[in-house]
């Protein structure tokens, strides 16, 4: 499916936020998915994920989650310090408030089917995807190796009200297996459920073909699984 893409702006109440939008080129309405970045910004990798989602029939919107830290920035995978510095200044709660505006704006788009909005997040974006599943009016949320979910995001678990799919990597030290067990325990404690997949033998970033940890076979299996989950809950 051919797609068309462009940078647009959404006003977040006090400040405009840049969003990369990729959508099917054919006219008509489609479900929407927010593609939430890693700590390296809305870089070429995130934009390609949005394009892939658009090719699968979604209006994909990748918001610049670092927009409150100055001009739009794209990090490199061989230069961690600037990305870590931005992550340290990042405020989850401010981001979640900004997402209220993003979700509202996406729902009002003439090319989006009414109310059919989901989230697909990676790393930092995976953490936000977990919190959003517990606090936002969305239909589904998918998180790839969300870092730091135990803590403030996990405390939001009682509010979980949409289908949630969580992907983790067996060798990941940023989102270790101990964190996965804490998530399972919190879900069980509050009578909630989620689809949790721990991919064996792979590390953090296994889905990203621009990172050393990229694992083609696992990535090739994970993508259709994530799309099937989104299709089930955004198209059904």
Cβ neighbour number for residue 121 with a 10 Å cutoff: 26
CA dihedral for 10, 101, 167, 181, sign (positive or negative): positive
Beta bridge partners of 108: none
The catalytic position among 95, 123, 134, 162 is 123
Alpha-carbon distance of 86 to 177, in angstroms, equals 26
11 is catalytic: no
Q: From the candidates 51, 64, 98, 172, which is the catalytic residue?
A: 172
The residue from 64, 67, 203, 204 that is catalytic is 204
| φ/ψ (deg, to 5) at 98 | -60, -35
172 is catalytic: yes
190 is catalytic: no
Cα(45)–Cα(219) distance, integer angstroms: 14
Alpha-carbon span 234 to 58, nearest angstrom? 10
Question: Got the DSSP string for 19-82?
Answer: EEEEEESSSS-EEEEEEE--TT-S-HHHHHHHHHHHHTT-EEEEE-TTGGGSS-----TT-HHH
Among 186, 190, 146, smallest CA distance to 168 is for 146
Q: What does the alpha-carbon distance between residue 149 and residue 5 come to, in Å, rounded to a whole number?
A: 31
Q: Which residues are catalytic?
A: 123, 172, 204
């Amino acid at each position: 499916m051919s797609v068309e893409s462009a940078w647009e702006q959404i006003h977040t109440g006090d400040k405009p936020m840049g969003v990369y939008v990729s959508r099917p080129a054919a006219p008509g309405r489609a479900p929407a998915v927010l593609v939430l970045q890693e700590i390296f910004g809305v870089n070429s990798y995130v934009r390609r994920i949005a394009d892939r989602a658009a090719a699968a029939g979604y209006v994909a919107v990748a918001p610049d989650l670092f927009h409150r830290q100055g001009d739009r920035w794209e990090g490199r995978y061989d230069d961690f310090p600037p990305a870590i510095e931005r992550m340290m200044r990042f405020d989850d709660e401010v981001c979640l408030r900004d997402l209220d505006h993003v979700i509202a704006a996406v729902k009002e788009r003439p090319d989006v089917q009414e109310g059919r909005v989901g989230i697909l997040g990676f790393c930092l974006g995976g953490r936000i995807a977990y919190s959003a599943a517990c606090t936002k009016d969305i239909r589904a949320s998918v998180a790839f190796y969300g870092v730091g979910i135990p803590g403030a995001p996990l405390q939001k678990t009682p509010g979980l009200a949409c289908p949630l799919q969580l992907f983790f990597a067996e060798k990941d030290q940023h989102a270790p297996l101990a964190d996965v067990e804490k998530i399972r325990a919190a879900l069980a404690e509050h009578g909630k459920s989620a689809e949790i997949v721990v991919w064996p033998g792979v590390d953090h970033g296994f889905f990203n073909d621009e990172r050393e940890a990229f694992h083609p076979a696992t990535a090739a299996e994970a993508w259709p699984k994530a799309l099937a989950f989104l299709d089930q809950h955004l198209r059904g």
